[in-house]
Chains A and B, each alone.
Chain A
Amino acid sequence: MKQRDDWHLTGDIEHESGRGDPFAAAIRATRMPMVITDPRLPDNPIVFANEAFQNLTGYGREEIIGRNCRFLQGPETDEGAVATLREAIAGENAVQIDILNYRKDGSKFWNALYLSPTRGVDGDVQFFFASQLDVTDRIEAQRQITEQKEIVEVEVQKRTLALKEALQAKTLLLHEVDHRVKNNLTMIGSLLRLQSRQIGDPAISSKLDAMLERVDALATVHRRLYQSDDITRFDVGAFTANLVADVIGASGRTDIKVDADVEELEIPSSKASALGLIINELVTNAVKHAFANGRSGTLHVFARAIDGRAILRISDDGLGMPKADTLVDGLGRTLVARLSRQVGGTTSWHGATSGTTVTIDLPAGG
């Protein structure tokens, strides 16, 4: 029965009574704002509010007692939250909810409200007990995080869009430049060919033809670049095989065999033009000089990446190199030397009476 007496004492709280009751004393003194309402009175008024509740809301006890809790609500209080509370009270259920409330001075605070019914021995609800917690800081922090996230997301979207547009513009520009370079290279080649036919002097004509082949080599480099999927890399192995087949095919020299040991050999496309010119000099030189005067033979072509270096080797079993300087015309030799240095590589010549071997060695990356 003692238990029941205690319960009765606690349930029958009057503001001036309860002294000496340990439960009532605890509720009065706790830092947790708390109220008790009586649903058996009209409009379920507050019958008890502790000190902490008064401090939280700024209302005095006389302003609180006898009023329904809704006096804490204000214009920005969520209707949905209010409805949830109303349903819980009507259904005599416990509820936990964050709700925007207003202090006496009109300032807002987020209230983490916990409401639960207190039942008597007969099981009927005698009181509602409500505890409050000011969680404005937490809600505000969450709101700020959400807001920041939204701002960042909008910024990211804007930036992504801008980058996509820039990429599209750049791709369009690149294709347009490609198109013009292609047209111009084709026209330069055609102009040189047309001029070459008008020259009677075989010495000048052959120099012009050599120049024409250089322009053609550049055109081939460019064509292979724009036709490849990755415009930053250039397969110099395939290019060399292509050039050798073209030069020998066009010469009609069926007596020159090609022995190609060529793998995919990628170098940065920034080095493609220089390397294309070097290979053109070496290949055309071999066909013109090593196999001159109808001498037949085999042209060996080797292209492979070895230990991060691009190795290209062109060797013939033709007339050989009696004197280093005489085989290639002056400009050709200079071009090979200077362009090799430009691409960060070396070109070495090994002449023998039975043919010439030229090795190009450059870094495959960077």
Chain B
Amino acid sequence: MGRRHTPLRFLVVEDEALLAMDLGMMIEDAGHHVVAEAGCLREVQGLDVGIAPDVAFVDLHLAEGSSGLDVCAHIKQNWGDAIIVFVTANPRKLRVDHPGAHGVIAKPFSRNGIMSALRYITEGICDPPPSASTPPDFTAFPALAATWKD
């Protein structure tokens, strides 16, 4: 994949309205765009393929009993270049080699934690490898570092 440039295009998949708004605003504060928000798998499936997100923040437990893992599979199939980062209160339920997943941010998140993770992910996408070490609140999966070699 070719190098991408800021502002990056973000997809936020989170069923808690407050958290979705908050994440969206922090993403905008960091200089990026939120191209779409969704609260469940059905809404993700209904998104225009043309939105082409660079990064997706995905909660594990979504509305309508749907799972972030299914959302991850959908994103991987439709937007294969997207960096998928789970944002969840259950980070231990994830395998580091889950197909399509690039990392996880644990809830409850802090502004500083999200901003550090955003900075790190942005550098990894636009100017890899990131200059800073991995932020403590962000767990990078091996798949993330693999994208830096492209």
Give residues in A with beta carbon < 8 Å to B: 179, 182-183, 185-187, 189-191, 193-194, 197, 212-213, 216-217, 219-220, 222-223, 227, 241-242, 245-247, 249-252, 254
Contact = CB atoms under 8 A, between A and B. Distances in A.
Contact of B22 (A190, A213, A245, A250): A190
Nearest to A283: B112
Contacts of A217: 110
Contacts of B111: 189, 193, 212-213, 216, 250
B89 A179 contact: yes
B21 A190 contact: yes
Given A186-B108, A189-B110, A245 B135 contact: yes
Given A245-B135, A246-B137, A249-B135, A222 B108 contact: yes
A172 B133 CA distance: 36
Contacts of A227: 91-92, 106
Nearest to B132: A249
22 contacts: A183-B107, A186-B89, A186-B108, A186-B109, A187-B18, A187-B19, A193-B25, A194-B18, A194-B21, A194-B25, A212-B111, A213-B111, A219-B108, A223-B106, A246-B112, A246-B137, A249-B112, A249-B119, A249-B120, A250-B111, A250-B113, A250-B115
A246 B110 contact: yes
Given A179-B89, A216-B113, A254-B131, A245 B136 contact: yes
A213 B113 CA distance: 11
B135 A193 contact: no
A309 to B, nearest CB: 25
Given A189-B108, A249-B115, A183 B22 contact: no
Given A182-B107, A183-B89, A241-B136, A247 B112 contact: yes
A288 to B, nearest CB: 12
B16 interface: yes
B18 A190 contact: yes
Interface of B: 16, 18-19, 21-22, 25-26, 89, 91-92, 106-116, 119-120, 131-133, 135-137
A197 B22 CA distance: 10
Contacts of A213: 110-112
A189 B21 CA distance: 12
Given A185-B108, A187-B16, A246 B136 contact: yes
A182 B106 CA distance: 10
Nearest to A287: B112
B119 A250 contact: yes
Tell me whether chain A's interface is mostly helix, strand or loop, or mixed. Answer: helix
Per CB-CB distance, the 7 closest pairs between chain A and chain B, nearest first, are A249-B116, A216-B110, A190-B22, A250-B115, A219-B108, A250-B112, A186-B108
B19 A190 contact: yes
Nearest to B91: A227
A87 to B, nearest CB: 68
A250 to B, nearest CB: 4
A194 B22 CA distance: 6
Contacts of A189: 22, 108-111
Nearest to B26: A193
Nearest to A216: B110
Given A183-B108, A223-B107, A223-B108, 10 more contacts: A183-B16, A186-B108, A187-B16, A189-B111, A190-B18, A220-B113, A227-B92, A246-B137, A247-B112, A249-B115
Contacts of B113: 216, 220, 246, 250
Contacts of A250: 111-116, 119
A213 B135 CA distance: 17
Contacts of A242: 136-137
Contacts of A193: 22, 25-26, 111
Contacts of B114: 250
Give the residue among A213, A220, A246 with the most B Cβ atoms within 10 A: A246
A247 B136 CA distance: 11
B17 to A, nearest CB: 9
A197 B133 CA distance: 29
A273 B129 CA distance: 35
Contacts of B92: 227
Contacts of A191: 18
A252 B119 contact: yes
B18 A182 contact: no
B25 A197 contact: yes
A220 to B, nearest CB: 6
Contacts of B16: 183, 186-187
